[in-house]
Amino acid sequence: MDLTLTADQLALQARAAAFVRDELQPREAEFERAGGQVPRAWGDAIRRAAIAAGLHGGSFPTALGGQGWTVMEQVLVHEQFGRSTGGLWSFVPGAYNALIHCTPEQRARYLDPCLRGERSGSYAITEDGAGSDARALRATAVRDAATGEYVLSGEKWFVTGPDDTDFMIFHCLVVDGDRRLPTLFLVDYDTPGVSIAHDPDYMHTFADRHPQFVLDGVRVTADAILGAVGEADELTNEWFVEERIHIGARCSGAMERLLNLAVEWATERVQFGERIYDFQGVAFPLADSAADASAARLLTREAAWLADSGADPKVVHAKASLAKLFASEAAFRCADRVVQVFGGRGYMREFAAERFFRELRVDRIWEGTSEIQRVIIARALERRGVSRVVG
């Protein structure tokens, strides 16, 4: 396995780093002070800058209007995105990878506007009684034999998207006699029967909101189906694998920024006539975090390299879970240590360490909790073999 970056990859990494430094980080404090409630034009400025920098739609083929990045190139960019707080990378135009399965008509209506920064979509999976266990989903789609339409019903939680989100990918069960077929539907928010039941605030202040939706007798035609009837589990799993690798990358980037901030502060701050960096109680936790950051980066890049090399998708799935599990747990430990290095300042929201402490906590929950990642890894150890999972 060769993880040496090419000249083109280094150039992409530098371009993403400059975008985060010049466009995202200067806006962090303002976004936090606003409680994440900013005018649409505020996010549009980021969208335009991202398009100008060629950072939009990275995972989509160039033929579909994307950048055509390899998984490794996606990781290099998301490492840089992770160096910003507020989840401001969510303003960068893009789309869930399930939209690669759009028909030409769906592409014109959904994917193309997303990549232009005109729309965003959400992924509606979780329900009040079904989180990690997709088999417990209750949302349904029943075909009306008289009209040929599908009638969608169900309640979805944590339907995540930024301020221009106006449609969802609705994961439900098509009722066909005794069969329940997992299927994805594209549903506009303004479709009759779609309503927001609750839009709660969370620990973090993110560009994304996570409202709860109710679909009550929502009627859509068959051309709203994304992919095919019965394919939802496979398409959703593709998204989970990609996003878990992206989370690993962003956590790696967050740790690098946290360490930079902590080392700079601790080498300049003097107490009892000495730099606080010279006290082992300060320096050793940072050394531990450096080891964590290095390991997280290598795990994530290894998963990306395997995906790009055409490795067994089951092994890539396990490697993505390894990366997500370790990186998310390590990043939270790092944030906790760095808050401690800053002392009282680390508890102030105007300092990035405090914001990271709140924001990194969710990476151990969404796109599969740490416990779910352990289940996936444990099963892979048994079914794929220890050497393939850890080798």
pLDDT in tens, 7-19: 999 999 999 999 9
Q: Are 21 and 63 in contact (CB under 8 A)?
A: no
- Quickly tell me which residue has 């990609």 as its tokens: 242
Q: What are phi and psi of 119, to 5 degrees?
A: -140, 165
**Residues 289, 338: contact at Cβ < 8 Å?**
yes
What is the average pLDDT score of the chain? 97
User: Is residue 15 a contact partner of residue 56, using CB atoms and an 8 Å limit?
Assistant: no
Report which DSSP code applies to 6.
P
Q: Evaluate if residue 270 carries a pLDDT over 80.
A: yes
pLDDT digits (tens, 9 = 90+) for 308-352: 999 999 999 999 999 999 999 999 999 999 999 999 999 999 999
Q: Which residues contact 195 (CB under 8 A, 6 or more apart)?
A: 213, 214, 216
More confident site: 296 or 2: 296
Which pLDDT belongs to residue 129? 87
User: Buried b vs exposed e over 128-158: b needs ≥16 C-beta within 10 Å?
Assistant: eebbeebeebebbbbeeeeeebbbbbbbbbb
Give me 182's structure tokens.
């997992």
Give the other-Cβ count within 10 Å of 374's Cβ. 13
Contact status, residue 255 vs residue 336, Cβ threshold 8 Å: no
Q: Which of 133-147, 193-207, 257-271 has the lowest mean pLDDT?
A: 133-147
Q: How many CB atoms lie within 10 A of CB 14?
A: 12
Q: Model confidence over 126-163: pLDDT tens digits?
A: 999 887 777 789 999 999 999 999 999 999 999 999 99
If pLDDT is split at 50, 70 and 90, which confidence band does 188 have? Answer: very high
Helix (H) or strand (E) holding 263, with range, is helix 232-268
